[in-house]
Structure 1
Amino acid sequence: MTLHELEVELGPRRYPIRIGRGLLDQPEALAALVTGRHALVVTDGNVAPHYLARVQAALAGKTLQALVLPPGEQEKTLARFTEVMAALAAMGASRDATVVALGGGVVGDLAGFAAACWMRGVRFVQLPTTLLAMVDSSVGGKTAVDLPQGKNLVGAFHQPAAVLADTATLDTLREREFSAGLAEVVKYGAIADAEFFAWLEDNAEALMARNPDALAHAIATSCRHKAGIVARDETEQGERMLLNFGHTFGHAIETEQGYGGLLHGEAVAVGMVLAARLSADLGRAPWSDTARLAALLERFDLPVALPAGLSGEALLGRMKLDKKAVSGRIRLILWAGLGRAEVVPDVPESEILPILEA
């Protein structure tokens, strides 16, 4: 088994990211991540049948509870957050408790936000089981829940104590979810690493076949980029905004569809193409790079155009509520071409609307 080990360094604070096959089959390593007496494992109905028993067995010496939530982005709500808090209260969780997030991005965001709020912040550990969570949401400490008005509007920055990504869990991931995760992998090449983007083009078939070596390289490279950016800008005051390439468009799509249409990664794929098209329209980037981006996403079975039936005006209204907007003015992550993302403040609505209505 090839093990990739990275660290996220935040001044005097740091935490490990471990990536490899079979990590959930190492009970001593799992147990070492829970340093206190209480542990709450938060997971969902898709993940629990496959992996919950292993985690419970590894933590058998702790005061342990498991909370199994329904799967899906539509469950990332304040009501589900309240359930997690109630579970912590019911078990009498103390300040040395650990919340363990076993699942994808929804579980990680929700469990992490609960850990941030319980007694003003307790330890939590990320055990991501989806590709999207492994390469993006499990690293960096962004935790949140959604509101009907917008995605991730209620949340906190709360870093995990560790991220343990067992790539064997990807064997049971549905094809659509797997492809959705590849959108976030492509993002790192698009915003910061043209060489990695070219590697993805050369290895697209191997990745779609879930080749273990190709997957491990893609995950480790993505996490290395994420860890570096988070270390330099933990609370998204500047450079970390670049990680939202495609997300302002994508979040608007997800919200307008009521979190029941495109998956997050699918919406981000569409959003990245829209951001690239807008960049080209504004003369900031070559059209040829937009074409390469769309072509690679399509090779990963991802959508590259807006779903039918969405109003451009409605999407624009959603974008105004994006967390990066300032005083109602839309701030977008655009690019100057492959590997060169940039923050562009106050993009005129008159330039954005045609992209949303094309």
Structure 2
Amino acid sequence: MSSIAYCTNVHPAEDLAGVVAQLDRYAVPVREELGVDTLALGLWLAEPVARGLAADGTARRRLAADLRTRGLEVSTLNAFPYGGFHHDVVKHSVYEPPWTDHRRTGYTIACAVVLADLLPDSADYGSISTLPLAWREPWSRADDARAQASLDIVGRFLRDEAARHGRPIRLAVEPEPGCVLDTVADAVSWLADRVDHDHIGICLDTCHLAVSFADPAETVKAIRRSGLSVVKVQASAALEVAEPGTEEGRRAIAAFAEPRYLHQVRENTPGGVLAADDLPEALDTLPAAHPWRVHFHVPLHARPAAPLTSTTDVLLTAVDAVRSTADAVPHVEVETYTWNVLPDPVDDLAAGIAAELRWAADHLGGVA
């Protein structure tokens, strides 16, 4: 497998100087901790940074040089959060602006311009992950049409850029619980007949996949049958509690309720999957008679204390399925953005990220 990146949306910098400072504070120590010459990053650039870089070729070349001199490389960007991803309260604002808004189109195109100049010589392609259109409501047929038109604009731009640079940049749409494209099945159904498959495909976030309780191997096969491709895998794990109705189970899972991010919950009942949009809501409304999975990205290497578990088994099965069905192995990015909101935050974030990447290398193959 190609090098496994770690996603820098765990860091709060939203200007270029801050991005470079975070490379020195975290990325370089992670690389040194792993003892590797080059570390792959899944770079997050807030909209003002991406827009500024897209307008300034000199600044892009300087950033590319800053990466090289630090032993860092970037083949993928995370363009899901537009900005404000580390505000005290993020929740639903992470889905703004939606794909019906021209700002989302402009941001994505800016990210593509930047990535084209950051790609290392070894990269066959670049990838950009993005949100699954919008939060599910309000949404209408007119919104469908507007979102498709926006994706058409981006698809044409990416095709032109591939012809210009000789290497494609591919957009990866990331299904997430509660959104218009809630599950991978929703994304496949919506995208398959609407987008340019050469330049737009799926970002398979394995935490989101686990929360949906979909079969990972069958899900990957369905993507393949549709003609779409897995452009990028976000290697991530959800929280799971087998008996959320017990006092012990409720107390353990409630410790992960926090005010910054949305933590969607699904309960897998014999009659179907029940949904709550956030963990506090789930604690108040779901019957808690069957297993829960919670959209809380937990570090891959750190197994939660009983009675909680994590869904690394879904991650491993999904990656095996992608490896066995894909023509080429997609980019893999470890995306644990929740380090700072864990019930027990770590003291040494760089060491934690390095430990997580070691786990990924041992279990998924690749870097470190």
TM-score (norm 1): 0.30
Structure of greater relative contact order (alpha carbons < 8 Å, 6+ residues apart): 2
From the two aligned structures, give the one with the greater helix fraction: 1
